[in-house]
Chain A
């Protein structure tokens, strides 16, 4: 059994509440949905025990009904990429930071806060990164008209 398939079995066993719908979408690509309350525990486990040493990207998406964070995590040693979707309610948009697990998340989280307004709890330095300090809204939200 390939590492991808083993991972899709181990993850829900380890986090029966936190992980849903883990599946192999194509070779070297795994997807799963995580609960935001368990995100830190899942990410710590992924780094320490499954060998995910690199966070490639954190994308924030505004689905109007809710927000979503999409984490693309990479394991160089097993050569796979895991896509972890985390749903976040729009009225209370917080999620725990993973920037102490992977320092590479520092700027991604600042960008997601800057452009989408997601609050990363316990982030050491959550300032705007691309827009000026005195900006008052988060322009990638769908309620901000781009046209």
Chain B
């Protein structure tokens, strides 16, 4: 029997998408164990929040995950609202839903691009980034920024919709629906793509739940867990959508979940635009708060939770961030065992790693 060796995939490695290190123990080219190492991007966001007033951490939260910044600012604002016991006006809630779903589309677009690049399908990478740019244009129209939008606020959002936004959304969505149907066909007809994804990195439903895996990765294992449906926040209980669930638990199922969510997000945004109420989009909030509050939302990567404690001053006493991918990585060694080293890119690409939110 050959000697078993530990090798480092990272911190600089094409499959890592950011700085982290996956140590894998190999027997020949079969993985017998793995150990993710992170912390290269640790900025101490939780500590930084403790020395700023309640509004300022929003820009820090934007930088938690560089692929999906708006949803993190949103969950922070929900936690502050819960702490201060305030309720944003209906229009503010609807605008938050529209912004978060646009961000989810952009995030899934970035995921698809990175995932296909991991598999060596560089054409798909370029297609997906090109379409993501259109979603980012919509976000820019809405918030003023492509990325790091600084848009949600405790008690609503920063600004109202610009004129002509609705027409622009519908025009772009018509185009995206057509394009993504084509991409779906070209991926699912490709034997190479199916070979690299089907039956790879299988995660059973019980293991996924026990390991705290959430979001699209859990729904790819057959659990119908979508916090927008189970524990609705903002106005998701007024909107009609269907969580995308697949049973197989492999990388291919996770791909199908995210692809389906892309279309669901478009449905949600169109409904929200149809029902968008008039009125104020933001209310004033107190400067100081005492007590505790938390919010959990369905981030593009899973369950995001922020737990916040106020001590009566104008700064949070403690902010704790639950990053979904941080927890999902603990299931990675189990998913990798028994696979070849060539499958690592498919598995880690399939769970949609974002180092910014892992390392905080």
Contact = CB atoms under 8 A, between A and B. Distances in A.
B55 to A, nearest CB: 18
Contact of A28 (B225, B231, B303): B231
Nearest to A62: B318
A24 interface: no
Would you list the 7 A-B pairs with minimal beta carbon distance, nearest first? Answer: A104-B212, A59-B320, A130-B39, A57-B322, A130-B42, A103-B211, A107-B330
Given A57-B322, A140-B47, A146-B50, A131 B212 contact: no
Contacts, number: 87
Interface of A: 28, 53-57, 59-62, 70, 72, 76, 79, 81, 83, 102-108, 111, 115, 128-132, 139-140, 146-147
Given A81-B296, A103-B330, A53 B209 contact: yes
28 contacts: A28-B231, A54-B209, A56-B212, A56-B296, A59-B307, A61-B318, A62-B318, A70-B307, A70-B320, A72-B294, A72-B296, A76-B209, A76-B223, A79-B230, A81-B296, A103-B210, A103-B331, A104-B210, A104-B213, A105-B212, A107-B327, A115-B46, A129-B39, A140-B46, A140-B318, A146-B47, A146-B50, A147-B51
Contacts of B360: 130
A54 B317 CA distance: 27
Contacts of B44: 139, 146
Contacts of A132: 39
Given A76-B230, A103-B211, 17 more contacts: A53-B209, A56-B212, A57-B307, A59-B307, A61-B320, A83-B294, A104-B210, A104-B213, A104-B330, A107-B327, A107-B329, A111-B326, A115-B46, A131-B42, A146-B47, A146-B48, A147-B51
Given A107-B327, A107-B329, A131 B47 contact: no
Interface of B: 38-39, 42, 44, 46-48, 50-51, 207, 209-214, 223, 225, 230-231, 294, 296, 303, 305, 307, 309, 317-318, 320, 322, 326-327, 329-331, 359-360
B239 to A, nearest CB: 18
A83 B207 CA distance: 23
A102 to B, nearest CB: 6
A48 B303 CA distance: 23
A81 B293 CA distance: 13
B300 to A, nearest CB: 17
A102 B210 contact: yes
Nearest to A130: B39
A107 B296 contact: no
A90 to B, nearest CB: 15
A59 B316 CA distance: 15
A69 B327 CA distance: 18
Contacts of A146: 44, 47-48, 50-51
Nearest to A56: B305
Contacts of B330: 103-104, 106-107
B212 A54 contact: yes
